[in-house]
Structure 1
Amino acid sequence: MPVRKGTAMVLTCALSAALVLTGCTAGQPPAPAPAPAAPKDGHDAANRAPEKARQAAKRIPGIGPRTYARIPDGTSQVLVVSGDSADGNVATAVLYDRDPAGRWQPVAGPWTGHNALRGWTDDHVAGDLRSPVGVFRIGDAGGRLPDPGARIPYDQDEEFAVSGTGFLDEPLEGSFDYVVAIDYNRVAGTTPLDKDRPLGDEKGGGVWIHVDHGGPTQACISLPRENMTELLRALDPAREPVIVMGPAAENAL
């Protein structure tokens, strides 16, 4: 049957439209779909693990950012004393050194001792039977007994003799055989026996690290005798040592 011109034109237009819809690559195989990306979780985690370990090594365990910010930049030796609770009087001490790469490493401890009878306070006053919370320099020492090999200044004096009994009726004799002064309300660079109180007598003073007598203290930190001699030999004035002291929960802030 003869094809009318109008019909031919319709067929030609339909063919042209089909070619446009198939694009310029008509007759060529379609491009392969991109392969799905391999999961990165395992690879990324493996890469992140060493970095996380490096960053963790640059922090002191149990010390949070607010507390850490109070440690002087030049300090590379920190004694961390963590109380069991805000009102508790049992504490644990660990000494840390920082290496040239900025990594903190425990070098002595943990040692178990005591703090004040009623726990801790951010606002210590004389007679409150609480240990002050904070970051303090520790650079002066002394005791009734001869210097056991301390690198920080050591003042041997009979005035360190003590007698009487503690809160649990335990004997106090020998408690001050070895002491390290905590620079709370005192003049740094003087004997622990110095009575000058820059903040006033009402803010207390004479807060020391001393030999443990088996019970809570008035405000001091106490450590077993063998640990006191170890601490005295370890403290290095070139490292500008400090003590971070407080209940564990507050140290972690």
Structure 2
Amino acid sequence: MRRTVTMGAATAVGALLLAGCGSGGGGPEDSGATGRAGKRPVAAAAPTPDSRTLPGIGPATSAKVPGSARQAVVVYGAGPTSANATVALFTRTGDRWHRGPSWAAHNGDHGWTSEHHEGDRKSPIGVFTLHDAGGVLADPGAQLPYHHSRSFAPPASWLPDYQHDFDYVIAIDYNRVVGTSPNDPTRPLGRSKGGGIWLHMDHGSGSAACVTLPKDAMRYLLRTLDPAANPVVVMGDKAHLAG
């Protein structure tokens, strides 16, 4: 059942500043622009047949995908040090994965890492659950619990192109407490391991560690990801995912 949580203006601004993206992802310090992500889904290079495993995902990564997961957002990073990526949504029926839409996207400025730490500007490689969403804008019809709050808004000092980064966000369950707002600053593994890793709106270049997509993609995912389907995100550079 969909649940919308409206958070008051009294929510601590510090929560945003402790978020991995909020502390710099999409901020003025971002560098190395790689071109704006497309506003429409990007078709796959060739039709992908239904498969018992996610396309391009090797046995080591496949083993980490829960058997209960019926939806998977797969982030195919272009390379270990690249900020370019493609995101595709897959749905599992029975023992077969079916490919849905895909979009051009971005990840951390400095690429990918299996040992993410605060400030490295790399996105963590792995398989993570998806439980909570939110943003500056009102709930667009999300199935995940949606935390609507102005506390997501970036600081006024950020460049205009970055001001809408957090209009919509989906929390990636890396070093966070599931069932809380994406803005919750709690870091169960400690601050040094980073946190605040989100799917959020794209500004045309890499992020601090988050995965960024066009607005239409975020709206689509928010309306499609279903808690009953136990959605996950599978993310990393293509070579690592295939291993």
Normalising by structure 2, what TM-score? 0.77
Please give the alpha-carbon distance, in whole angstroms, between the structure 2 residues aligned to 1:191 and 1:232.
15
Shift in Å at residue 57 of structure 1? Answer: 1.8
The structural deviation recorded for 1:89 is 0.3
1:187 aligns to 2:177 (yes or no): yes
Runs of at least 5 residues in structure 2 that lack an aligned partner in the other structure = 1-48
Indicate conservation of the 8 Å contact 1:170/1:215, yes or no. Answer: no
How far apart in 2 are the matches of 1:245 and 1:57? 18
Amino acid at match of 1:252: A
Residue 106 of structure 1, aligned match among 94, 99, 102: 99
The runs of 4+ residues in structure 1 deviating greater than 6 Å are none
Corresponding position of 2:143: 151
Aligned pairs for 1:55-134 within 5 A: 57-100=51-94, 102-107=95-100, 109-134=101-126
Cα deviation for residue 110 of structure 1 reads: 1.4
TM-aligned CA deviation for residue 170 of structure 1: 6.8
**Structure 1 alignment gaps of length 5 or more:** 1-54
Q: Percent identity?
A: 47
Larger-gyration structure (1/2)? 1
- Equivalents in 1 of 2:160, 2:206: separation in Å? 10
Q: Which has the higher contact order (CA 8 A, sep 6+)?
A: 2
Q: Distance in 2 between matches of 1:236 and 1:65?
A: 26
Report the RMSD for the aligned CA atoms in angstroms: 1.3
Aligned partners of 1:132 and 1:78: how far apart in 2?
Answer: 16
Task: Give the superposition deviation at 1:154.
Answer: 0.2
Instruction: Name 1:140's counterpart in structure 2.
Output: 132
Counterpart of 1:90 in structure 2: which amino acid? N
Aligned twin of 1:222? 212
Q: What is the deviation of 1:186?
A: 0.3
